[in-house]
């Protein structure tokens, strides 16, 4: 029969250019696409053979074979699947974006038969071959025919079809590689690509070299097997392979989601914190498979960013793909998978949280990331907060839950108090905690950047509001701890109050342009002064973080609290009454403010002026 020449049924010069240069982000995807198509062909024949076993003949073992020919500069991908006749060859390959798989699925649906695993749905994967080949040749024979057909094209507008002898059913796709694409003839390169993209499809992929065939894929996905058939060593090896890690998994989550969408998840929590956990991209490393074919590791909607420490795979039978298979279509089914994965993870994590020593391993590694969910996931914030653990002023070395904290609150305490900073040991020495310590009030020590945001989002726990200990707060006098407190006589208190009121006025006059206010402090018991944020202002710690990252370039005015019971403050109050307008008092007032800044870990705005004032004060104190 004579060779026939056909034009592609589309504006091929434009469409193929899109496929080759824009549709796929990297060229190596072509092998995944062609192997997936071959797997589809085998699955189609397997399905049809259920009612017509004669289609299989004496060749019932399905396989895909890769044959690199270095001398010819060609790579052949062969399968013993359903194959194509002449019309199918012209229609399915000659018409870009027409998919035989889609037609087959539509036929099954018309008969209300849903039990099939088909990967290709858009009919463009085949043309990815032109990214690496200057000419593509297809030799095929359908299982229920005796005629073979040969299709050839350079992808520039036409293709030829001719009848050729072919002994067995199936398809050979021969890629005549471009001169600079001969890396795809190298065995190690082919093995790596198959392991990366097609390791877990059900059909064996063989590499043929010098008449020897070597299996290069597992041809069996671990996650599809029942948990009862998988031992700890197998889970560990799979985790190390998929997670590129050498540690042991802290938690293994393996389950199958059924209902509106069917999917399987095999996820792991590492026992060691990954180096890129706090990278600004906040990407997870869970691989998405569809029908055991690797699709992407970059699917942001698969898991929330606050679970980015999870590693593993998710495989779905039902998800549709976009035209290139590299970016999923916006589809509500993906949201269902995401919701199911999150729910199952939180359930399993709650079970592990009952053992404090074991759970502390997870929390110390990933607690800072999990807390991001308190700020970002309003729907699940209640579940997440119950899993959170904290260091406190009563338990600086141990981790406690909020349930434990609330259970040991003092009589009259109506709030959960917390303080934010860079390190727990530094916070323990903060002057902001002196009054709380004197009252025996426990304070949460929060040292992660996200701690600046989630308390306001959560609002309360067990009916108790979150209140920052470094902000202006209500009077602590209503809270008791049974200790004896020192009370001054009425006359003495009256005299002191009058003197201190004069001090407040004098300090406000000197420091007014620099600070927001000067107030008496109920929190200070040892230190003379401290700086606090006003009730609705950002915390001092957050301001420092933002300045470090150049997010702000100004200073928020703060409130200076003074300890009316401290001997230094009383002596300065006497000085204010005698000479509150003098330059000496101005120097003392500025030194008090600098002292408060230093105690809060704040940089001094003018170290030279501070040194001068301190030198003068020391000279007078030493009578030099």
Cβ atoms of 304 and 373 closer than 8 Å: yes
CA distance to 59, 508, 587, 610, per residue, from 576 (Å)? 103, 12, 12, 20
Sorted by sequence, the CB contacts under 8 Å of residue 282 that are 6+ apart come out as 305, 308
Give the max Cα distance, the chain. 122
Q: Give me the percent of the chain exceeding a pLDDT of 70.
A: 87
Task: Supply the pLDDT for residue 601.
Answer: 82
586/432 Cα distance (integer angstroms):
25
Cβ atoms of 37 and 126 closer than 8 Å: yes
Q: What is the mean pLDDT of residues 48-62?
A: 91
The answer to whether residue 101 scores a pLDDT higher than 70 is no
Nearest CA among 17, 4, 178 for reference residue 96: 17
Cβ atoms of 337 and 299 closer than 8 Å: no
pTM of the predicted model, to two decimals? 0.77
The answer to whether residue 121 scores a pLDDT higher than 50 is no
Cβ atoms of 181 and 133 closer than 8 Å: yes
Task: Supply the pLDDT for residue 487.
Answer: 45
- How do residues 148-179 score in pLDDT, each as one tens digit? 999 999 888 788 999 999 999 999 999 999 99
CA distance to 63, 209, 533, per residue, from 215 (Å)? 10, 11, 67
Confidence of residue 496 (pLDDT cuts 50, 70, 90): low
**Apex CA 331: angle with CA 325 and CA 336, to 5°?**
115
Cβ atoms of 198 and 220 closer than 8 Å: no
**Domain layout of the chain by residue ranges:** 4-215, 222-357, 390-468, 490-621
Task: Supply the pLDDT for residue 475.
Answer: 67
Q: Where is pLDDT greater, at 274 or 554?
A: 274
Please tell me if the domain spanning 4-215 has the same topology as the one spanning 222-357.
Answer: no
374/455 Cα distance (integer angstroms):
8
What's the half-sphere exposure (Cβ side, CA atoms, 13 Å) at 172? 18
Strand (E) or helix (H) holding 59: none
Sole residue written with tokens 């250019």: 17
Query: What does the mean pLDDT of the chain come to?
Result: 86
Q: What is the mean pLDDT of residues 89-113?
A: 62
Which range among 91-100, 235-244, 350-359, 486-495 shows the weakest confidence by mean pLDDT?
486-495
The answer to whether residue 183 scores a pLDDT higher than 90 is yes
What architecture does CATH give domain 4-215? 2-Layer Sandwich (3.30)
The answer to whether residue 378 scores a pLDDT higher than 50 is yes
Cβ atoms of 276 and 244 closer than 8 Å: no
**Fold (CATH) for 490-621:** 1.20.120
Q: What is the mean pLDDT of residues 508-520?
A: 91
Strand ranges of the sheet holding 517-520, from the earlier edge strand across to the other edge: 517-520, 559-562, 529-532
Task: Supply the pLDDT for residue 501.
Answer: 86
Sorted by sequence, the CB contacts under 8 Å of residue 588 that are 6+ apart come out as 572, 575, 617
Q: What is the mean pLDDT of residues 545-552?
A: 80
**Fold (CATH) for 222-357:** Ribosomal Protein S5; domain 2 (3.30.230)
CA distance to 120, 319, 382, per residue, from 295 (Å)? 12, 11, 34
Structure tokens of 556? 């928020």
Q: Where is pLDDT greater, at 110 or 385?
A: 385
The answer to whether residue 113 scores a pLDDT higher than 60 is no
Q: What is the mean pLDDT of residues 255-275?
A: 91
38/51 Cα distance (integer angstroms):
21
Task: Supply the pLDDT for residue 47.
Answer: 85
444/385 Cα distance (integer angstroms):
14
Confidence of residue 478 (pLDDT cuts 50, 70, 90): confident
540/421 Cα distance (integer angstroms):
9
561/518 Cα distance (integer angstroms):
6
Cβ atoms of 77 and 172 closer than 8 Å: yes
What architecture does CATH give domain 390-468? 3-Layer(aba) Sandwich (3.40)
Q: What is the mean pLDDT of residues 346-373?
A: 95
Q: Where is pLDDT greater, at 389 or 50?
A: 389
Task: Supply the pLDDT for residue 86.
Answer: 93
Identify the three-state secondary structure at position 139.
strand
Q: What is the mean pLDDT of residues 525-553?
A: 85
Task: Supply the pLDDT for residue 540.
Answer: 82
Nearest CA among 516, 518, 509 for reference residue 582: 509
Task: Supply the pLDDT for residue 96.
Answer: 58
77/138 Cα distance (integer angstroms):
10
Sorted by sequence, the CB contacts under 8 Å of residue 409 that are 6+ apart come out as 416, 442, 464
Which range among 118-127, 351-360, 513-522 shows the weakest confidence by mean pLDDT?
118-127
């Amino acid at each position: 029969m004579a060779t026939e020449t056909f034009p592609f049924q589309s504006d091929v010069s434009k469409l193929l250019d899109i496929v080759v240069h824009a549709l796929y982000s990297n060229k190596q995807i072509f092998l995944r696409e062609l192997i997936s198509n071959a797997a589809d062909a085998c699955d189609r024949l397997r399905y049809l053979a259920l009612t017509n076993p004669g289609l299989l003949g004496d060749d019932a073992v399905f396989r895909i074979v890769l044959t690199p020919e270095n001398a010819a500069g060609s790579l052949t991908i062969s399968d013993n699947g359903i194959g194509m006749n002449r019309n199918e060859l012209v229609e399915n390959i000659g018409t870009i974006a027409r998919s035989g798989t889609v037609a087959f699925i539509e036929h099954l649906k018309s008969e209300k038969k849903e039990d099939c695993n088909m990967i290709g749905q858009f009919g463009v994967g085949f043309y990815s071959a032109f990214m690496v080949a200057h000419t593509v040749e297809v030799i095929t024979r359908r299982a229920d025919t005796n005629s073979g057909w040969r299709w050839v094209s350079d992808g520039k507008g036409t293709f030829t079809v001719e009848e050729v002898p072919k002994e067995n059913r199936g398809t050979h796709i021969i890629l005549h590689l471009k001169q600079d694409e001969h890396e795809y003839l190298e065995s190690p390169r082919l093995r790596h690509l198959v392991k990366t993209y097609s390791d877990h499809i059900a059909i064996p992929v063989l590499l043929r070299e010098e008449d020897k065939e070597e299996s290069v894929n597992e041809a069996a996905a671990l996650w599809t097997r029942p948990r009862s058939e998988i031992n700890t060593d197998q889970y560990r090896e799979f985790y190390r392979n998929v997670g590129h890690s050498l540690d042991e998994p802290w938690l293994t989550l393996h389950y199958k989601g059924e209902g509106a969408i069917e999917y399987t998840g095999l996820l792991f929590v590492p026992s060691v914190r990954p180096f890129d956990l706090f990278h600004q991209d906040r990407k997870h490393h869970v691989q998405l498979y569809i029908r055991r074919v690797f699709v992407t590791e970059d699917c942001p909607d698969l898991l929330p960013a606050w679970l980015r420490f999870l590693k593993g795979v998710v495989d779905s039978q039902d998800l549709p793909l976009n035209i290139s298979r590299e970016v999923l279509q916006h589809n509500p089914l993906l949201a269902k998978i995401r919701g199911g994965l999150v729910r199952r993870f939180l359930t399993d994590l709650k079970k592990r949280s009952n053992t404090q020593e074991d759970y502390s391993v997870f929390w110390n590694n990933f607690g800072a990331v999990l807390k991001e969910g308190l700020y970002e996931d309003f729907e699940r914030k209640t579940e997440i907060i119950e899993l959170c653990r904290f260091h406190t002023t009563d338990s600086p070395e141990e981790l406690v839950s909020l349930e434990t904290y609330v259970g040991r609150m003092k009589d009259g305490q109506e709030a959960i108090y917390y303080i934010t900073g860079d390190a727990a040991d530094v916070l323990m020495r903060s002057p902001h905690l002196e009054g709380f310590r004197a009252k025996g009030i426990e304070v949460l020590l929060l040292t992660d950047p996200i701690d600046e945001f989630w308390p306001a989002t959560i609002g309360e726990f067990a009916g108790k509001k979150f209140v920052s200990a470094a902000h202006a707060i209500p009077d602590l006098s209503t809270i008791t701890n049974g200790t004896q407190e020192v009370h001054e006589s009425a006359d003495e208190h009256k005299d002191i109050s009058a003197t201190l009121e004069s001090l407040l006025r004098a300090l406000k006059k000197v420091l007014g342009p620099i600070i927001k206010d000067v107030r008496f402090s109920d929190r200070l018991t040892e230190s003379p002064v401290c700086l606090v944020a006003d009730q609705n202002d950002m915390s001092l710690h957050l301001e420092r973080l933002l300045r470090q990252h150049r997010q702000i370039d100004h200073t928020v005015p703060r409130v200076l609290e003074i300890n009316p019971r401290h001997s230094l403050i009383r002596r300065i109050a006497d000085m204010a009454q005698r000479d509150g307008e003098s330059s000496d008092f101005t120097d003392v007032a500025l030194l008090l403010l600098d002292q408060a800044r230093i105690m809060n870990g704040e940089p001094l705005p003018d170290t030279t002026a501070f040194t001068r004032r301190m030198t003068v004060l020391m000279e007078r104190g030493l009578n030099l």
